Structure 1
Amino acid sequence: MPVVTPDQINDYIGKEVGVSDWVLVDQDRIDKFADVTEDLQFIHVDPEAAAKTPFGGTIAHGFLTLSMLSKMAAGAVLILEGIKMGVNYGFEKVRFVNAVRAGKKIRARFALKSVEKRSGGQWSLVYDVKVEIDGEEKPALIAEWLTMQVV
Structure 2
Amino acid sequence: AVIWFGLSNATIYAVVLLGAVPSIANGLVAGVDQVQPLYLRAGRTLGATGLRGIRHVLLPAALPGYVAGLKQGWAFSWRSLMAAELIASSPALGLGLGAQLEYSRQNLDMPGVLATIILILLVGIGIELLIFNPIERRVLRSRGLLAAKR
Q: TM-score, normalised by structure 2?
A: 0.29
Larger Rg computed on CA atoms: 2
* Higher RCO, Cα 8 Å, sep 6+: 1
Q: TM-score, normalised by structure 1?
A: 0.29
